[in-house]
C-alpha cells in the first residue's frame, strides 16, 4: 500500500539502516537498538521517528463538552524497519494512562514531545506489532512556527483538530512526519445531539445511553497532518451531485451561507479529475465549521476544513490539495511547494477557465512585485527555516514555476506531466527532484536551467 520508506532521501545521520551499500555497518542488522527520535527532516528535526512505519491508526476518543477533555485509546499497527529495543512516538501534553505492545505492558518514558515505549521483549526486524496507548486530558492548541494556531482548537460548541505541520501530536500519539502515511479508523463518542466529523467515510453511527459514537474510515494512506476531527452541531450533506461519493459536514450556524458548497465540491472535484487525473480517494467533501479564529483553511484528507463557508476559489485550492499534498505527499517539509505551489496554480487554472484572469495575467501580476517583496525572500524549493514552509515564495513563486514550466513545454505536455505525476506517485511520498526528473523525462528536454532559476536561486529572477 505504501511506497518504501523515503527516509533514505533525508540525511541519514541517525539512521544506520540507511547506510548506503558498501558502507560498513558496525552492528549486525539483527541487534536491537533504540529507534531514532526524528526522521532527519532538516526543518523539523524532532518530528517523526525512526525504526518503524505505521500501517494503521485505530483511534477511539470520548469527548466531554463540560471540560473539553478526551479519554482516548490509540491502537497503532506498525512494522519495524529493523530490530528495536524501544521506539518513540510524537505526543504532546495529554496524560498517558498505560501502554502495551502486542498485548504486554510496555515501559513508558516521556521527554518533551517524545513518548518512548520499551517493549518487555525486543522487536525483531521487519515484523508487525501493535502498540496501544491509553490517555486522557484536555488537548492543547499549539502555535506553529509561523505563528498560526493548530493542534486542538476550541469552537463555540465543540472543538476541531488541525495538524499542519505538527498539531496532530496534541490529540494522538503517532509517527508524526508526512513520510509515514497510514490508514485510519477513528471513533468519537459525543453526547447525543452533537456530531463528530473526521476523514473518509462514516462507517458506523450508534446511539446508546445518551451518547452517539461516529466511526470514520480512511482506507487510503494518509499523512498524520491531514487527520482531523470536528465536534459540534453539524449536519452531514450527502447530496451526490458529482461522480465521486461526497459528504459535506456543515455547521448548523453556517447552513445558509454554505448552501452552495455541496454542489461546488462536486463540480470542483470533477474538474480536478479531468485536469489532474482520477480523484485519488474513495470520497470527497468538506467540513464547514463555525469558528475558531484561524485565518487559514486546511486540506484535511477527503474533507478540507474551513472555519466558515468558503468562497469557490478557496474550495478549489483545498480540493486541488487532495491530489497535490494528500495523495502525492512531500517526504520532507522542505518540499512544501509541491503542495502549495500546485494548489495555488490550480486556482490560477480555475480562474482562467471560468472567465477570470488568465494564468499568464496572474503570473505577470506577481512578477511585477518589487524585488524587496516577500515573494522573493527565498527560493521556493529551499525554505530556510520551519516558519518559511508557509511563506509567499512556497505558494506564489511555486505557482509561477509551474506557469513557466507550462509555457516552456506547452499545454499538452504540461497536462501530461501533471497527470503522470499524480499517477506515478499516487498515495506516495515525493521530493522536488522526483518532479523535476519527471518533467525532463516527459518533455524530453533539459529543463534544469528553468528549475535552477525558479526553484533554487535566491532573489527575483531578472527575466521571467
What residue ranges bind Zn ion (CB under 5 A)? 340, 343
In whole angstroms, the minimum distance from the beta carbon of 239 to ligand TRP comes to 25
Q: Which of 47, 389, 399, 430 binds ligand TRP (CB under 6 A)?
A: 389
Chosen from ligand TRP, Zn ion, none, partner binding at 165 (C-beta under 5 to 8 Å by type): ligand TRP
Q: Does 298 bind ligand TRP (CB under 6 A)?
A: yes
C-beta of 402: minimal distance to Zn ion in Å? 14
Give min distance, CB of 321 to ligand TRP, in A: 6
Q: The C-alpha cell of 28 is what?
A: 549486525
Does position 450 interact with ligand TRP (CB under 6 A)? The reply is no
Closer CB to Zn ion, 138 or 275, in the complex: 275
Per-residue binding letters, 334-353, with ligand TRP (x by CB under 6 A): --x------x----------
Which of Zn ion, ligand TRP, none does 92 bind, CB closer than 5 to 8 A by kind? none
434 near ligand TRP, rule: CB under 6 A? no
Q: Which is nearer to Zn ion, 347 or 434 (CB)?
A: 347
Of 34, 212, 213, 296, the residue at the interface with ligand TRP (CB under 6 A) is: 296
399 binds ligand TRP, rule: CB under 6 A = no
In angstroms, what is the minimal distance from the CB of 392 to ligand TRP?
12
**Pairing mode of beta strands 182-191, 211-222:** antiparallel
Q: Which of residues 112-151 bind ligand TRP (CB under 6 A)?
A: 144, 148
Shortest separation between residue 394's beta carbon and Zn ion, angstroms: 9
Decide: is 299 part of the binding site for ligand TRP (CB under 6 A): yes
Q: Which residues contact 266 (CB under 8 A, 6 or more apart)?
A: 240, 241, 242, 244, 246, 284
Q: What is the Cα–Cα distance from 295 to 229, expressed in whole angstroms? A: 18
- Residue 17 φ then ψ, to 5°: -60, -20
Closest residue to Zn ion, judged by C-beta, is 343
Under the binding rule (CB under 6 A), the answer on residue 390 touching ligand TRP is yes
Q: Count of alpha carbons within 13 Å of 190, Cβ hemisphere only?
A: 23
Total residues binding ligand TRP (CB under 6 A): 15
Q: Which residues bind ligand TRP (CB under 6 A)?
A: 144, 148, 164-165, 296-299, 317-318, 321, 336, 343, 389-390
Amino acid at each position: 500500500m505504501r511506497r518504501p520508506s523515503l527516509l533514505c532521501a533525508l540525511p541519514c545521520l541517525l539512521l544506520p539502516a540507511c547506510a548506503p551499500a558498501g558502507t560498513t555497518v558496525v552492528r549486525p542488522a539483527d541487534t536491537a537498538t533504540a529507534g531514532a527520535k526524528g526522521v532527519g527532516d532538516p526543518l523539523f528535526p524532532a518530528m517523526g521517528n525512526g525504526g518503524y512505519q505505521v500501517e494503521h491508526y485505530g483511534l477511539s476518543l470520548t469527548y466531554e463538552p463540560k471540560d473539553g477533555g478526551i479519554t482516548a485509546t490509540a491502537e497503532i499497527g506498525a512494522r519495524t524497519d529493523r530490530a528495536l529495543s524501544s521506539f518513540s512516538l510524537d505526543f504532546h501534553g495529554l496524560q498517558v494512562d498505560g501502554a502495551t505492545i502486542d498485548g504486554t505492558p510496555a515501559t513508558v518514558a516521556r521527554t518533551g514531545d517524545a513518548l518512548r515505549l520499551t517493549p518487555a521483549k525486543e522487536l525483531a526486524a521487519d515484523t508487525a506489532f501493535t502498540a496501544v496507548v491509553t490517555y486522557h486530558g484536555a488537548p492543547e492548541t499549539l502555535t506553529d512556527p509561523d505563528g498560526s494556531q493548530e493542534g486542538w482548537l476550541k469552537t463555540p460548541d465543540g472543538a476541531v483538530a488541525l495538524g499542519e505541520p505538527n498539531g496532530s501530536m496534541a490529540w494522538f500519539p503517532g509517527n508524526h512526519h508526512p513520510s509515514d502515511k497510514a490508514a485510519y479508523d477513528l471513533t468519537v463518542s459525543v453526547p447525543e445531539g452533537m456530531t463528530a466529523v473526521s476523514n473518509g467515510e462514516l462507517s458506523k453511527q450508534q446511539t446508546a445511553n445518551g451518547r452517539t459514537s461516529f466511526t470514520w474510515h480512511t482506507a487510503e494512506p494518509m499523512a498524520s497532518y491531514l487527520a482531523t476531527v470536528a465536534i459540534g452541531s453539524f449536519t452531514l450533506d450527502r447530496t451526490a451531485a458529482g461522480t465521486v461519493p461526497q459528504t459535506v459536514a456543515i455547521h448548523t450556524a453556517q447552513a445558509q451561507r454554505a448552501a452552495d458548497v455541496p454542489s461546488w465540491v462536486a463540480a470542483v472535484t470533477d474538474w480536478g479529475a479531468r485536469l489532474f487525473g482520477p480523484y485519488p480517494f474513495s470520497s470527497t467533501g468538506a467540513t464547514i465549521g463555525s469558528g475558531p479564529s484561524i485565518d487559514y483553511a486546511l486540506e484535511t484528507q477527503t474533507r478540507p476544513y474551513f472555519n466558515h463557508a468558503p468562497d469557490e476559489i478557496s474550495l478549489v485550492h483545498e480540493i486541488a490539495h487532495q491530489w497535490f499534498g494528500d495523495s502525492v505527499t512531500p517526504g520532507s517539509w522542505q518540499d512544501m511547494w509541491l503542495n502549495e505551489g500546485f494548489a495555488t496554480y490550480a486556482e490560477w487554472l480555475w480562474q482562467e477557465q471560468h472567465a477570470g484572469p488568465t494564468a499568464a495575467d496572474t503570473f505577470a501580476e506577481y512578477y511585477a512585485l518589487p524585488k524587496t517583496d516577500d515573494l522573493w525572500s527565498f527560493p521556493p524549493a529551499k525554505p530556510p527555516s520551519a516558519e518559511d514552509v508557509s511563506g509567499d515564495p512556497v505558494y506564489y513563486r511555486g505557482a509561477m514555476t509551474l506557469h513557466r514550466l507550462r509555457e516552456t513545454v506547452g499545454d499538452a505536455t504540461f497536462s501530461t506531466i501533471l497527470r503522470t505525476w499524480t499517477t506515478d506517485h499516487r498515495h506516495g511520498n515525493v521530493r522536488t527532484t522526483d518532479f523535476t526528473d519527471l518533467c525532463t523525462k516527459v518533455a524530453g528536454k533539459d529543463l534544469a536551467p528553468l528549475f535552477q532559476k525558479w526553484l533554487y536561486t535566491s532573489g527575483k529572477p531578472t527575466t521571467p
